[in-house]
Structure 1
Amino acid sequence: MASLNEPLFPIAVLIDELKNDDIQIRLNSIRNLSTIASALGEERTRTELIPFLSENNDDIDDDELRLAVAEELSRFIPCVGGIEHADVLLPPLETLCTVEETCVRDKAVESLCKIGAQMREKEMVKSFIPLVKKLAAGEWFTARVSSCSLLHIAYPHAPETIKTELRTLYGQLCQDETPMVRRSAAANLGKFASIVEAAYLKTNILSKFKDLAHDDQDSVRLLSVGGCVALGKLLEPQDCVAHILPVIVKFSQDESWRVRYMAADHLYELCEVVGHESTRSDLVSAYVRLLCDNEAEVRIAAAGNVTKFCQLLSPELAIQHIVPCLKDLSTESCQYVRSALASVVMGMASLLGKEATIEQLLPIFLSLLKDESPDVRLNIISKLDQVNQVIGIDLLCQSLLPAIVELAEHRQWRVRLAIIEHVPLLATQLGIELFDDKLGPLCMQWLKDKVYSIREAAAENVKRLAEEFGTEWSMQHIIPQVLDMINDPHYLNRMTVLQAISLLGPVVGPEISCSKLLPLVINASKDSVPNVKFTVANVLQSLAPVVDQSVVEQTIRPSLVELTEDPDVDVRFFASKALNEITVSS
């Protein structure tokens, strides 16, 4: 009797778990669908498991469960016997395309797209295209929303008569009474336009795009901005000028700040699409309006794209129209606008050249370097190399170094941490002499910072500087100061120095490690603080691969053996661990 019931066992377990009150048990059962399918076999998965999922929606009544089902079914083609049987997966996903929760619908649509992209033309015409048409005609708006995202998968495989029907369906969705549906149509315009035959772009798709671009809902219009870019790339240049350019200008003047924000965020792409010198004046005027917009969010988006936009202009146009706006933005009240500008404006130096950079951009750079906001100053400093390549560091040093020093001692530790991360770049740009004079002392000061993250970053910084300037420089400027700090009265600082030594060893090589660093570490093994001693054990382990094996046996191993007999349990643990590692590696 048990053997007769055995084939039903996986389904029975699934049914039982899906009725459990514990949501996690129900979720785990969904995550194990592929295992259940494997136990059932391909045929029973098609005839029993998939229909069960379609017919038992009441048991899968939680959005998290539905999301898991939609995700699992996207990987179910092998479980049902291959792509020739993929149509059996469509019904449960169709149901999930109609639920109210957006993330569930999106995942169901994503799974249908994956399955549809693999289906053969015969199955597409028989199963997938009817599903899309059914969703597009659905009474509830969620079904129609989902259909917008599936049309571009169905269209290429449809016969000509059905293609005409699908284009008509898309047009109806673009004019749907529900804004959510029109939003989905606008979001998918680029995908649908890319697979429609060129003959229908101007006669069909372009008119629908214009309807969406003039929609009374700003949420629809803002999604049309992306469609504007996609459609412009498909049209001929003269059609872009005639049909796309006026829409771009309209978006830049839209009454909704959200639409203007999207226009500012995509304007350089839109400019690239239009592409003719004769149209540049309209686009430049539109961009200038966005840079001077009343809403800070729009100005942030526009400022963040200034270098990209100016790449499409001649230096003369940029200097005449864009640079005056940047001067105003560099001193405006919103720090986020100034921060967005500071993150990209240095890139304009290579576009304008040395003379124009010195005359037009340098005052902007220096103004941002003196900004009251640390983020603004950090954004400028992080892109310093872009200007140095054009005009050299000397012209910036007078204002640059005071700004760096001020940030290096900032009361907020995250600001100090950000400066430390930029020090190797600054070292490269400043050169050895200027760096030693101005920033060298700060690097040692950070090793004694009150915040652990700063001390840790400072130790890593010492290593990166040694890599940048070489062993000889390290012997003169880094190692002597590090050695002096090993006797610091605070044990945390002594631990930081040991951490720096472990990082320096592989950089400076075996000779310096043996003669300068290792003796210090051995002496530190006599420290009175256990934390210092177990740090010594870790450092000795890191130095062992750097030095000769004879040094390991004569110096490192005896010191670790001694530490294994320390009264402190942590010291004994780390010393034993280091000994084991050294033994294994040797």
Structure 2
Amino acid sequence: MITTMLTMIRYSHLAIFELSIPISVYLSLSSTDSDDHPIAILIDELKNDDIQLRLNSIRKLQSIAKALGPDRTRAELIPYLQGRTTLYIDYLLVDLKNTDSVLEDEDEVLVALSEELGKLTDLVGGVEHAVCLLHPLQMLAGAEEIVVREKAVDSLCKIVQDLPQSTFDEYFLPLLFNLSKADWFTSRASACGLMTVSYPRASAENKKTLRKSFATLCHDETPMVRRAAATNLGNFAKQIEKDVVKSEILPLFLSLSGDEQDSVRLLGVENCAIIGSMLTNEENGQLILPTLRQSSQDKSWRVRYMVAHLFKELCDSMGPEITKAELVGAFVKLLKDSEAEVRTEASLRVTEVCSLISKDMSTKQILPCIRDLVSDSSQHVRAALAQVIMGLAPIFGKEDTLTHLKDLFLQLLKDDFPDVRLNIISKLDSVNKVIGIEMLSQSLLPAIVELAEDQQWRVRLAVIDYIPLLASQLGVEFFDEKLGNLCMTWLGDPVFSIREAATNNLRKLTEVFGVEWAKSNIIPKVLTLHSHPNYLYRMTTLFAVGVLSPVVGSDVIASSMIPLLSKMVLDKVPNIRFNVAKTFQIIIPLVDSTVVQSRVKPSLLKLIEDPDKDVKFYANQALQLC
């Protein structure tokens, strides 16, 4: 009969919302003249059919609780929320296979509810009364949706830290033990997340019980529970005495690391690092290393991927001796792994690993793998390597960088995949510091210049971003000879982001080389674009004038830029004319008032009579500055 009734509820959308908050909650708030009327609306929206209205009201729970006061919040608001949660959980369990959008909507509300309940401690009367929040959160910790459970566990962890010891012993520990023994696996999984925060506050006897409960969860028949236990094993071990870790936690660690489910085994890798940091090098060699060695060769690529992902942390926890003797060999195998995902993740750790070992060992064992990865069949592997390979230059030094790495840099700079080229360009500075600008200009600059015309606009953009730094290192003469014309070419790029970056680049170059250099090398070339038949080029001229004006000084503005703007007032394209007005707005504060009145204002008066309303609008704004 109960099942039938719940099934009927399942298909009645409005039935979920039939619970209503006691009328006494908002009798005194319902007057339209009351300042609390918005609170009454929020309370009413808690049972509304519209998901956004319910979410809005849940997010305002603190405001509702504050308006009601601690007594009413405990007596009426919390029981109402608990009733809604109970009904939802019950009807969810009726038929998990037919979950529809109604449930998804309700899950979104429950995520918000789980979050907000953790913030109500002060509003229910303080930690002495926070026990009223535990039961609804316990129910939410057993929800089917994992995000709901995670938020509920987070809120419980936040509340338990401030609970009085008597409340912790009387109410929270029984709640935790009930979750750990619940019939439904979701509650047991949530219990794993509460063990770590509970253990330090428990008595010696309860600590023993907690360890026993955690051990039971580690051997649970449901993989999801074992996975949750594996996730929390390392942090739980940190709370426990070392002797107990070796006698009770290590067997659990070994069991989970050898689990039949790869989703459980891969979490054991992180525990290798955490537990290993608690043991001596000798103990690590005996107890942790065999598991780590096994994980690095696991049949599941996901486990090997996790080893590669956490390799730096594993090296730190195992110590330098084990790293050199055992882990470097394992890392070489990961760099040569059959799965591209594993090689990608291992490639990202190349520089980190080389920083932990001698240069000689890096050259003999890691460098051959790097040479293979530079031409790897997977573009993602090459892109990952390109992110970090430049960091090897400080480790190898100038001579070895030129001998072993320079050709690899060039090969990656010419890679077919744009992200590879992009990653190399963005890290050129680290190489320059090692080999010097002269060697950089001879070996890599030609490739960089070639990339300045790359088909992928993001690559061109990366080159532009690097130009000011390169210019400061090359010097003005070398820059004018090799890169000057290139910077002007970008002003006519078909991609707006490139043109915009190119104008900003001109300003940075002016700051590097000075105004006099800009007057003879940049400004004349920029100003010639004002008569280009393509209006986009003319627009770029205006952008460049606006960007350069603050750095070139009032004399250059008055002698070169204002005459140009006065000509462009008559441009046939309205977009150009209203951008002229916007550019005038930039330069008016930068020049003398006499110049403004005699040379700027007449141009704006022409624009104010323009037939285009946008031109009039911006011209009027500029005139107000005059």
Shorter chain as denominator, the TM-score bin is over 0.9
The equivalent residue for 1:6 is 27
Among 65, 73, 77, the residue aligned to 1:45? 73
Are 2:611 and 1:567 equivalent residues in the alignment? yes
Question: Which letter maps to 1:146?
Answer: S
Contact 1:19 1:59 in 2 (8 A): no
List aligned pairs for 1:319-330, cutoff 5 A. Answer: 319-330=363-374
Q: How many residues align?
A: 581
Are 2:91 and 1:63 equivalent residues in the alignment? no
The equivalent residue for 2:506 is 462
CA distance in 2, matches of 1:431, 1:227: 52
Deviations 1:81-138 (A, max 9, x none): 1222222111111111101111111111111122222323232222222221111111
Q: 1:531 to 1:137 in 2, by over 3 A?
A: same
Are 2:75 and 1:54 equivalent residues in the alignment? no
The equivalent residue for 1:527 is 571
The equivalent residue for 2:176 is 132
The equivalent residue for 2:49 is 21
List aligned pairs for 1:516-555, cutoff 5 A. Answer: 516-555=560-599
Question: Which letter maps to 2:257?
Answer: A
Shift of residue 242 of structure 1?
2.3
Shift of residue 399 of structure 1?
4.9
Shift of residue 245 of structure 1?
2.3
Among 358, 362, 384, the residue aligned to 2:428? 384
The equivalent residue for 1:351 is 395
Question: Which letter maps to 1:21?
Answer: D
Provide the aligned C-alpha RMSD in A.
Answer: 2.2
Are 2:203 and 1:143 equivalent residues in the alignment? no
Shift of residue 406 of structure 1?
3.2
The equivalent residue for 1:490 is 534
Deviations 1:207-257 (A, max 9, x none): 211211111111011112122212222223332232222222222111110
Among 230, 233, 240, the residue aligned to 2:274? 230
More displaced, 398-407 or 258-267? 398-407
CA distance in 1, matches of 2:267, 2:473: 43
Name the SS for the 2:313 alignment partner. Answer: helix
Among 427, 432, 436, the residue aligned to 2:476? 432
CA distance in 2, matches of 1:74, 1:278: 44
Q: 1:579 to 1:157 in 2, by over 3 A?
A: farther
Shift of residue 436 of structure 1?
2.3
CA distance in 2, matches of 1:221, 1:400: 45
List aligned pairs for 1:355-366, cutoff 5 A. Answer: 355-366=399-410
Contact 1:7 1:40 in 2 (8 A): no
Among 546, 554, 568, the residue aligned to 1:502? 546
Name the SS for the 1:139 alignment partner. Answer: coil
Shift of residue 71 of structure 1?
1.6
Are 2:166 and 1:122 equivalent residues in the alignment? yes
Question: Which letter maps to 2:515?
Answer: T
Q: 1:351 to 1:249 in 2, by over 3 A?
A: same
Q: TM-score normalised to the size of structure 1?
A: 0.94
Q: 1:407 to 1:358 in 2, by over 3 A?
A: closer
Contact 2:25 2:72 in 1 (8 A): no
CA distance in 2, matches of 1:128, 1:211: 29
CA distance in 1, matches of 2:489, 2:210: 69
Contact 1:331 1:338 in 2 (8 A): yes
Q: 1:448 to 1:12 in 2, by over 3 A?
A: closer
Shift of residue 183 of structure 1?
0.8
Deviations 1:505-564 (A, max 9, x none): 112222322222232223322322221111111111111232234433433344333322
CA distance in 2, matches of 1:550, 1:119: 72
Question: Which letter maps to 2:80?
Answer: F
Name the SS for the 1:489 alignment partner. Answer: coil
Q: TM-score normalised to the size of structure 2?
A: 0.88
Name the SS for the 2:299 alignment partner. Answer: coil
CA distance in 1, matches of 2:408, 2:362: 15
Question: Which letter maps to 1:543?
Answer: I
Question: Which letter maps to 1:6?
Answer: L
CA distance in 2, matches of 1:399, 1:67: 56
More displaced, 369-378 or 253-262? 369-378
CA distance in 2, matches of 1:344, 1:180: 36
Among 355, 368, 374, the residue aligned to 2:418? 374
Among 325, 333, 341, the residue aligned to 2:385? 341
